[in-house]
């Protein structure tokens, strides 16, 4: 499950401002701002979360699930 922290980290890794993510994902800036203020699982409609996740993955981001040795995270996907 995508978290607010992962969205912030992915956007930072890409060097995108909130406005850029909103535009590229087709979501309002206020929605991105609200979602990024949260912590834990992304509190969004499923369709909104899918748009954000798809946009970031298409930009080269890979989301990592938490496991016994580390928490959730993001990184650039291998090409």
CATH number, domain of 59, equals: 1.10.260.40
User: In 3D, which of 77, 46, 55 has the Cα closest to residue 64?
Assistant: 77
What pLDDT band is residue 14 in, cutting at 50, 70 and 90? Answer: very high
pTM of the shown model? 0.91
d(CA 23, CA 26): 5
Q: State the residue range of the domain holding 65.
A: 4-76
Q: Into how many domains does the chain fold?
A: 1
d(CA 45, CA 11): 19
Cα separation values, 68 from 40, 51, 71, Å: 17, 29, 8
* pLDDT beyond 90 at 66: no
Ranges of beta strands (E only) in 1-79 are 61-64, 73-76
Average pLDDT of the residues in 38-42: 90
């Amino acid at each position: 499950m995508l978290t607010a922290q992962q969205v912030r980290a992915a956007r930072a890794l890409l060097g995108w401002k909130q406005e850029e993510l909103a535009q590229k994902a087709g979501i309002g800036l206020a929605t991105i701002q609200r979602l990024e203020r949260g912590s834990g699982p992304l509190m969004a409609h499923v369709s909104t979360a899918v748009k954000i996740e798809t946009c970031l993955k298409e930009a080269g981001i890979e989301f990592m699930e938490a496991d016994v040795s580390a928490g959730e995270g993001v990184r650039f996907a291998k090409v």
